Structure 1
Amino acid sequence: MQTKMILKRDGTTEEFCDDKVKNAIIKAYKASSIWYDDDVVLQMTHDVSESIQGDEVSVEAIQDLVEKALMKEEPEVAKKYIIYREWRNVERDKKTNMKQIMDGIVSIEKNDVNNENANMSANTPAGQMMNFASEVTKDYTSKYLLGKEYNRAHKNGDIHIHDLDYFPTKTTTCIQYDLEDLFNRGFRTKNGTIRTPQSIQSYATLATIVFQTNQNEQHGGQSIPAFDFFMAPGVLKSFRKHVVGHIEFIADLKNVSVDSKELKALVNDAVSSISLSDEETHKLTAQLQAIVPLSEEEVQTIMHNAYMKVEKDTHQAMEGFIHNLNTMHSRGGNQVVFSSINYGTDTSPEGRMVIRELLSATVEGLGRGETPVFPIQIFKVKDGISYTEADYEKAVKDFKAAMSGDIAFEAPNFDLLLQACETTATSLFPNFIFLDAPFNVNEAWDANDPRRYYYEVASMGCRTRVFENLHGDKTSFGRGNLSFTTINLPRLAIDAKLEAEETLPTAAKKEIQEFAVELFYNRLIEMVSFVGEQLKERYDYQRSALAKQFPFLMNNDVWKGGINLGPNDEIGDVINTGTLGIGFIGGHNAMVALFGEGHGSSQIAYDTLYKAIELMNDGVAALKEKYNLNYSVLATPAEGLSGRFTRIDKQKYGEISGVTDRDYYVNSFHVDVQEHISMFDKIKKEAPFHNLTGGGHITYVELDGEAKKNFVTILKIVKTMHDEHIGYGSINHPVDTCRECGYKGVIYSKCPVCESEDITRMRRITGYLTGDLETWNSAKRAEEHDRVKHGFGAN
């Protein structure tokens, strides 16, 4: 007969024993001061034992059976037993981690639960409710939805399954919008249908509404992959309205009656751009003669005035877009929408105006000049479109002339790249994505294709990359990440080193290191496979969601293919275009565990880490072939996780110098934040890892002092990133704002203008910004404190 096992409350198991059931029954009788018969107790014990089904039973299930047996034999004893169980449960719960967490939320402690998400106002009632729900749902997921081996690995700190609180909802992580499709068809919300917008103000406003509406149906961020292309038609529509209005005004002055419909039709047909050539203006004048007598000079004046008005409209629209995304709350916790926009390759006059005015509005900031946190802005650097080597040389040679517009450039949008660098120097955005990095190139991209943006890679602001696709076009449009799980690299390295030392106690240091590296590689391969299976299990669970659970995402074809589903249809294969990310953290710490040095200074450590990520890609390739799903390697954007792994490992292994002796693990493949390295060397060391992390990556450099005083430095950094094949990069520097007078710059203890000490210190956390360092969790605050500024070095 197979031995039955008891599953205890702490997750461990032990062999079932009849005596424990008998003792529980006897204690219940004694607590009730009721005499018991030994034979009756033995019979109840036998009945309980025989009632147990299966090979494993929980403590709670056994107690339920004891309760039933007592209720049948002695109801008074059973009642006392029930009351006792309830009391014990309450007392036990008071001592549990969950009770402590809830107490911390109630008392709004400054702890890592409340500060896990720097984008959430955790102290507000909505923020507290969000945290309550999050913690309880994580507990539910762990107990009832996760496979036991995955739950154990997550709790032990071998892996981290992200967004466990959203696991039961079956939702996906993020999405890249095909905004053109949404605008052309219109879209439905809960209370009605939104028509195609007819002005740049409406285009910008509806973009924020799309962001806000869908925020409630996914747990991650959202991105617009070609913001300039999508907004450009709105600029042209507003321009045509101004042209019609000016013509009608002049016609009225001349006492000429005009058929408005006929005039609008003529202008819509003849005015194809906000910048007409002389020939096009001449043709328009001739066509207008049939409606209202206007000279060519008058038409040119009309076009000029309409241009000035639409430029103002566009600026206000971009200003409103930024203000809305920084004030419009969505989802629980008073969170503003986690939004990103990609732009930079639309060379049309309308698209260029959108970029120009967006960047200008970003520099102006919010109401008192505060740096906007959202949207995360990403400028696309593309050879021949926004960058050429010759243009760079011209700009560096005479930067003042380049910035003032006195130099003619080959690339039509190089001037906008310069403006983007200037904006980054004052506002930390935009970040930069490099379309000509070999892994970002799309063979279907054609400079003459008016929809070429469809084939341009776009990024989520935090770094998530969705591009390659086993089930459709290679594009970022209409798809996103499904879920991701992160591997604890330092733990694999620590265990490998300890086993190598135990196995080879008398061996030379080099031999121990070589054996440890071999063990590290083998365990990493096993862990990639393990995580791949976990992601597949979650994917199968997500597939079972009904379309009606995501009315905006599916009904409006935001996630491509969703529009074909009925409300009660499972989403199934519709989401197979999404990605499953296998992430990693602590590359630096893992190398220190193996070699005593990080990959920023040790070549053998660098080569080892590089091969490790190559092996992860081999594992991902095997998973792709096995399941025909879009697995990818992700350089995890660790926020709360950065400290969680470290706390667990410090408790397990103690303090290991350079590994567990800080409050955080260094992000993904990044060189140690304390490494004294030039910005250009840091870029060169990290760039090769971008090719290995198709699920997302970012490289940043830390500048000291006020970048706004040295724009050319930003341009040089962008060039280096471009030349070294960085996929996605950003530039960090201090941006402090006085809350009293609005002064913005590097502020030490007091504002240099009004001497206020009420200062907002804006910093980048994992790709996005936060309004104040105080909202960061302890691990990320410790990491920010340790960040070494990167010198110039040799370029």
Structure 2
Amino acid sequence: MDYAGITIAKRDGARECFSIEKIERAIAKAYRADGINDDEASVKQIAGEVASAIDKSEISVEEIQDLVERQLMRRNPSVAKRFIIYREWRTKEREKRTSMKQVMDGIVAVEKNDVNLSNANMSSHTPAGQMMTFASEVTKDYAYKYLVGVRYGRAHREGDIHIHDLDYYPTKTTTCVQYDLEDIFNRGFHTKNGTVRTPQSIQSYATLATIVFQTNQNEQHGGQAIPAFDHFMAPGVLKSFRKHLATAVDFILRLHGEGNRPSLQETIAGTVTSIEDSEVQLKALAARLQTLGAGLSADELRTAWTQSYETTRKDTHQAMEGLVHNLNTMHSRGGNQVVFSSINYGTDTSPEGRMVIRELLSATTEGLGHGEVPVFPIQIFKVKEGISYSDADYAAAMADFEGAMGGKLRFQAPNFDLLLEACRTTSTALFPNFLFLDTDYNRNELWRADDPDRFRYEVATMGCRTRVFENLHGVKSSWGRGNLSFTSMNMPRLAIEARREAEELHPDGDKHAVRREARMLFLEKVRSTAALIAEQLHERYEYQRKALARQFPFMMGNDVWKGGGRLGPNDEVGDVIDSGTLGIGFIGGHNAMCAIYGEGHAHSDEAWQTLYDAVMVMNQVVEEYKSRYRLNYSVLATPAEGLSGRFTRLDRKRYGIIPGVTDRDYYVNSFHIDVKEPVTIVEKIRKEAPFHAITRGGHITYVELDGEAKKNVAAILKIVKVMHDEGIGYGSINHPVDTCRSCGYRGVIYTRCPVCKSENISRMRRITGYLTGSLESWNSAKQAEERDRVKHR
């Protein structure tokens, strides 16, 4: 038969002459895939029938394949199935290549798209940022194909779950860690090029803290944190003070004509135990100096002490300025991202620890070079009864707030004045956030006020909201451990499916029957999806534990991750990472409740209870898998950034637009009340607080204020008290912080700068748990969410 007149239109637009041999080869492959290797006659006959069915001069490849499918279905359905599966696989592979090409083109062209803006803390348009984005997209594809189990990879691609930081999967790295700086500084630490000794001044303490941050950031994919910053920095303050005091005393002795005394530094170091100018210390030092033959009058010694104190305070301020500036300018991860750093503080009552925090808060308020609000470190003030908070102190402060802020009142809790300063700083710089240590789930039975090691038993948080505290393999503490990995479920999709199935089971349309059925189905789906995630996390853990210690020379080699120091370079990390946590996360609680009840959990008690029960089901799965694998599973209130839009796009494509569910560009974060819901501050806190107790992998509640918060610091303190009383674990207070890029004016700027009339305005907002320099760096979904945020009153 003559087929010379038929032209084949290929997928890339090219044309070629018809070839029956190519059809025969495709059919033969399908036969072989079904175990049939010697039926050449059937192959040729089917190919001939396909060719005979062509009734036009030009036909596409897809049309020919449709004809092959039909002919195979008539003759041999089993072979047809093999052909269809193979065709679908080839189609997906082509789509992947096409999609990857489009992604790469977008990176090359520095387009403003959601791939390039997936992380608001990354400068994706710089050469280093482009290289990292290229690598990220290619590595995700590699992980899908070769590392992630087929079942889990499919669930991720289709949007049932989201495996976070998939681009880092092949590296076997963990997410984050809380530094035991005391141990690191006391021993010193080594890097690739040498060893760093124990620091001897507050400037060195602060500088080395930033170096630790930057060095370790390259060995993990998440945030880094210091759990007790004030406690760790305090020795640096005392060392600086002793040096300054020795210099001052030596100067006075020289004025007296007395010679050099080499033992003066050691004498002061052995006598002075605090920068506090107590009579006991002054008398003890005077007596010790007398034994050296160095007689100073009481006034001279007090003058030396006062001068040394002020010089140390200035040093401390400069050190904290340096810390803030460095953490906003020092880049890591290929040079395109500042360190994702967090510091926890507020419970060190020593004069040295208090000086650190007072100067840190002052430096934060002053801001960067032109007064810009520092994005990092994320600062977290620890609120603790009897240490940094008491109801009596709150009442006294509110009765005379001006006097309280002016330092005219004495408080029962030694650090309550620092809490007031923290509120003042939050009102201008959006940090610190507040961590409440007295909620039932944040308490540690080992904590005692008189224990110098008590900081080890205080919970600390990091990054957007990661909480690492409970531990099956050691002391309940945040120090020297972190999160291994986390994966989130698409909760709205589970609710949509549950509602549809319930409607099929109750065709009569009884609203209450449908809702009851949908609730039961939804909880079952949450359970099965949580179990799927738990198994996927275990698979990743088994892969991570095979990493060699030399892959993490700083983190393991310096015992930053506790237990790593005992490993040899070629040892697998193995059980050392068992102290880490595995997070089962979720997103879109509000949207899920809209799918079932037609409204969110802000005002519907039924919806609120269903969402709470769903998270409790996740906790039941966590307990089951803790027991099964002896690993630290936890439930995480996912800090969705790129994910908030990804799930929504996939679900809108699958289900269409569902009011309250898929009708926006984003899903609402975790258990949060809808950002558009006009609830009061107290209502929002009360609705969300119970979820903190059952999301122990991490959580946050924030409220949105209108206007310039710096004009009403008392309102900040009131909100902190409400959070404290209602059982919030970790909270923050958002308010507009706009800066004119032309003249530097900072305040609420609506369209133009009120000073210079410029429209070049940087608008700083909190994206999940951290700040960004400008809304322009957010992806489209988070920008849409920010526009929808209502103010709480």
Same fold (TM over 0.5): yes
Contact persistence 1:546–1:570 (CA under 8 A):
yes
Tell me how far apart the structure 1 counterparts of residues 297 and 787 of structure 2 sit (CA, whole Å).
Answer: 66
Query: How much does 1:93 deviate?
Result: 7.1
Q: Secondary structure at the match of 2:466?
A: coil
| Aligned residue number for residue 499 of structure 1 | 501
The one-letter amino acid of 1:742's match is: G
Tell me how far apart the structure 1 counterparts of residues 38 and 104 of structure 2 sit (CA, whole Å).
Answer: 44
**In the alignment, does 2:733 pair up with 1:731?**
yes
Query: How much does 1:788 deviate?
Result: 0.5
| Aligned residue number for residue 624 of structure 2 | 622
Query: How much does 1:94 deviate?
Result: 9.2
The one-letter amino acid of 2:119's match is: N
TM-superposition CA deviations, 1:581-621 (whole Å, max 9, x none):
00000000000000001000101000111111111101100
Mark the CA change 1:476 to 1:20 in structure 2 (over 3 Å): closer, same or farther. Answer: farther
**In the alignment, does 2:454 pair up with 1:452?**
yes
Contact persistence 2:439–2:729 (CA under 8 A):
yes
**In the alignment, does 2:690 pair up with 1:701?**
no
Q: Secondary structure at the match of 2:132?
A: helix
The one-letter amino acid of 1:613's match is: V
| Aligned residue number for residue 518 of structure 1 | 520
The one-letter amino acid of 2:237's match is: V
Alignment of 1:291-330 (within 5 A): 291=292, 292-330=294-332
Contact persistence 2:188–2:195 (CA under 8 A):
yes
Tell me how far apart the structure 1 counterparts of residues 347 and 23 of structure 2 sit (CA, whole Å).
Answer: 73
- Of stretches 754-763 and 687-696 in structure 1, the one that deviates more from structure 2 is 754-763
Alignment of 1:761-776 (within 5 A): 761-776=763-778
Identify unmatched segments of 5+ residues in structure 1.
1-17, 28-38, 47-87
| Aligned residue number for residue 54 of structure 1 | none
TM-score by length of structure 2 reads: 0.89
Mark the CA change 1:277 to 1:26 in structure 2 (over 3 Å): closer, same or farther. Answer: closer
**In the alignment, does 2:288 pair up with 1:287?**
yes
Tell me how far apart the structure 2 counterparts of residues 604 and 676 of structure 1 sit (CA, whole Å).
Answer: 19
The one-letter amino acid of 2:284's match is: K
Tell me how far apart the structure 1 counterparts of residues 556 and 482 of structure 2 sit (CA, whole Å).
Answer: 13
Tell me how far apart the structure 2 counterparts of residues 672 and 91 of structure 1 sit (CA, whole Å).
Answer: 38
Contact persistence 1:673–1:787 (CA under 8 A):
yes
| Aligned residue number for residue 482 of structure 1 | 484
Query: How much does 1:576 deviate?
Result: 0.2
Tell me how far apart the structure 1 counterparts of residues 39 and 489 of structure 2 sit (CA, whole Å).
Answer: 51
Correspondence for 1:405 among 399, 404, 407: 407
Alignment of 1:366-385 (within 5 A): 366-385=368-387
Correspondence for 2:572 among 564, 570, 573: 570
TM-superposition CA deviations, 1:699-745 (whole Å, max 9, x none):
00000000000000000000000000100000000001111221111
| Structure 1 segments (4+ residues) deviating >3 Å | 18-22, 24-27, 39-43, 88-95
Tell me how far apart the structure 2 counterparts of residues 154 and 593 of structure 1 sit (CA, whole Å).
Answer: 21
Tell me how far apart the structure 2 counterparts of residues 401 and 93 of structure 1 sit (CA, whole Å).
Answer: 67
Tell me how far apart the structure 2 counterparts of residues 320 and 236 of structure 1 sit (CA, whole Å).
Answer: 18
Contact persistence 1:544–1:570 (CA under 8 A):
yes
Q: Secondary structure at the match of 1:551?
A: coil
| Aligned residue number for residue 759 of structure 1 | 761
Correspondence for 1:251 among 229, 246, 253: 253
| Aligned residue number for residue 641 of structure 2 | 639
Alignment of 1:540-551 (within 5 A): 540-551=542-553
Mark the CA change 1:676 to 1:388 in structure 2 (over 3 Å): closer, same or farther. Answer: same
Query: How much does 1:22 deviate?
Result: 3.8
Q: Secondary structure at the match of 1:770?
A: coil
| Aligned residue number for residue 351 of structure 2 | 349
Q: Secondary structure at the match of 1:496?
A: helix
| Aligned residue number for residue 225 of structure 1 | 227
| Aligned residue number for residue 583 of structure 1 | 585
The alignment covers a number of residue pairs equal to: 721
The one-letter amino acid of 1:168's match is: P
Q: Secondary structure at the match of 2:427?
A: helix
Tell me how far apart the structure 2 counterparts of residues 91 and 717 of structure 1 sit (CA, whole Å).
Answer: 53
Tell me how far apart the structure 1 counterparts of residues 619 and 188 of structure 2 sit (CA, whole Å).
Answer: 41
Tell me how far apart the structure 2 counterparts of residues 491 and 647 of structure 1 sit (CA, whole Å).
Answer: 12
| Aligned residue number for residue 278 of structure 1 | 279
Mark the CA change 1:296 to 1:560 in structure 2 (over 3 Å): closer, same or farther. Answer: same
The one-letter amino acid of 1:432's match is: F
Tell me how far apart the structure 1 counterparts of residues 103 and 652 of structure 2 sit (CA, whole Å).
Answer: 21
| Aligned residue number for residue 165 of structure 2 | 163
Tell me how far apart the structure 2 counterparts of residues 166 and 541 of structure 1 sit (CA, whole Å).
Answer: 12
Tell me how far apart the structure 1 counterparts of residues 443 and 772 of structure 2 sit (CA, whole Å).
Answer: 32
* RMSD across aligned positions (CA): 2.0
Alignment of 1:554-565 (within 5 A): 554-565=556-567
Tell me how far apart the structure 1 counterparts of residues 603 and 662 of structure 2 sit (CA, whole Å).
Answer: 19
**In the alignment, does 2:366 pair up with 1:331?**
no
**In the alignment, does 2:151 pair up with 1:172?**
no
Tell me how far apart the structure 2 counterparts of residues 92 and 490 of structure 1 sit (CA, whole Å).
Answer: 30
Q: Secondary structure at the match of 2:184?
A: helix
Tell me how far apart the structure 2 counterparts of residues 679 and 113 of structure 1 sit (CA, whole Å).
Answer: 35
Contact persistence 2:214–2:339 (CA under 8 A):
yes
Query: How much does 1:461 deviate?
Result: 3.2
Q: Secondary structure at the match of 2:332?
A: coil
**In the alignment, does 2:601 pair up with 1:599?**
yes
Tell me how far apart the structure 2 counterparts of residues 663 and 639 of structure 1 sit (CA, whole Å).
Answer: 12
Query: How much does 1:332 deviate?
Result: 2.7
Tell me how far apart the structure 2 counterparts of residues 702 and 660 of structure 1 sit (CA, whole Å).
Answer: 24
Tell me how far apart the structure 2 counterparts of residues 528 and 351 of structure 1 sit (CA, whole Å).
Answer: 43
Query: How much does 1:107 deviate?
Result: 0.5
Tell me how far apart the structure 1 counterparts of residues 598 and 320 of structure 2 sit (CA, whole Å).
Answer: 50
Q: Secondary structure at the match of 1:96?
A: helix
Tell me how far apart the structure 1 counterparts of residues 439 and 97 of structure 2 sit (CA, whole Å).
Answer: 53
Tell me how far apart the structure 1 counterparts of residues 560 and 97 of structure 2 sit (CA, whole Å).
Answer: 46
Q: Secondary structure at the match of 2:225?
A: strand
| Aligned residue number for residue 9 of structure 2 | none
Query: How much does 1:339 deviate?
Result: 0.1
Tell me how far apart the structure 2 counterparts of residues 554 and 663 of structure 1 sit (CA, whole Å).
Answer: 41
Contact persistence 2:222–2:463 (CA under 8 A):
no
Q: Secondary structure at the match of 2:608?
A: helix
Tell me how far apart the structure 2 counterparts of residues 565 and 614 of structure 1 sit (CA, whole Å).
Answer: 38
Tell me how far apart the structure 2 counterparts of residues 762 and 383 of structure 1 sit (CA, whole Å).
Answer: 32
Tell me how far apart the structure 2 counterparts of residues 230 and 176 of structure 1 sit (CA, whole Å).
Answer: 13
Alignment of 1:145-160 (within 5 A): 145-160=147-162
Tell me how far apart the structure 2 counterparts of residues 141 and 91 of structure 1 sit (CA, whole Å).
Answer: 15
Alignment of 1:642-657 (within 5 A): 642-657=644-659
Tell me how far apart the structure 1 counterparts of residues 96 and 734 of structure 2 sit (CA, whole Å).
Answer: 44
Tell me how far apart the structure 2 counterparts of residues 161 and 380 of structure 1 sit (CA, whole Å).
Answer: 31
Correspondence for 1:127 among 118, 129, 138: 129
The one-letter amino acid of 2:499's match is: K
Contact persistence 2:636–2:696 (CA under 8 A):
yes
Contact persistence 1:242–1:309 (CA under 8 A):
yes
- Of stretches 277-286 and 616-625 in structure 1, the one that deviates more from structure 2 is 277-286
Tell me how far apart the structure 2 counterparts of residues 493 and 333 of structure 1 sit (CA, whole Å).
Answer: 42
Contact persistence 2:676–2:789 (CA under 8 A):
yes
Tell me how far apart the structure 2 counterparts of residues 333 and 593 of structure 1 sit (CA, whole Å).
Answer: 43
Alignment of 1:109-120 (within 5 A): 109-120=111-122
Q: Secondary structure at the match of 2:633?
A: strand
| Aligned residue number for residue 681 of structure 2 | 679
Query: How much does 1:279 deviate?
Result: 2.2
Query: How much does 1:125 deviate?
Result: 0.5
Contact persistence 2:242–2:268 (CA under 8 A):
yes
Tell me how far apart the structure 1 counterparts of residues 457 and 323 of structure 2 sit (CA, whole Å).
Answer: 26
Contact persistence 1:128–1:333 (CA under 8 A):
no
Percent of pairs with identical residues:
68
Tell me how far apart the structure 2 counterparts of residues 91 and 150 of structure 1 sit (CA, whole Å).
Answer: 18
Query: How much does 1:253 deviate?
Result: 1.7
Tell me how far apart the structure 2 counterparts of residues 766 and 722 of structure 1 sit (CA, whole Å).
Answer: 21
Q: Secondary structure at the match of 1:515?
A: helix
Tell me how far apart the structure 1 counterparts of residues 519 and 556 of structure 2 sit (CA, whole Å).
Answer: 46
Identify unmatched segments of 5+ residues in structure 2.
1-19, 30-36, 45-89
Tell me how far apart the structure 1 counterparts of residues 321 and 787 of structure 2 sit (CA, whole Å).
Answer: 33
Tell me how far apart the structure 1 counterparts of residues 120 and 605 of structure 2 sit (CA, whole Å).
Answer: 36
Contact persistence 1:384–1:411 (CA under 8 A):
yes
TM-superposition CA deviations, 1:492-542 (whole Å, max 9, x none):
000000011112111411001101110001111111111100000000000
Q: Secondary structure at the match of 1:736?
A: strand
Query: How much does 1:89 deviate?
Result: 11
Query: How much does 1:756 deviate?
Result: 1.5
Query: How much does 1:290 deviate?
Result: 3.0
TM-score by length of structure 1 reads: 0.89
Tell me how far apart the structure 2 counterparts of residues 23 and 407 of structure 1 sit (CA, whole Å).
Answer: 90
Contact persistence 1:129–1:333 (CA under 8 A):
no
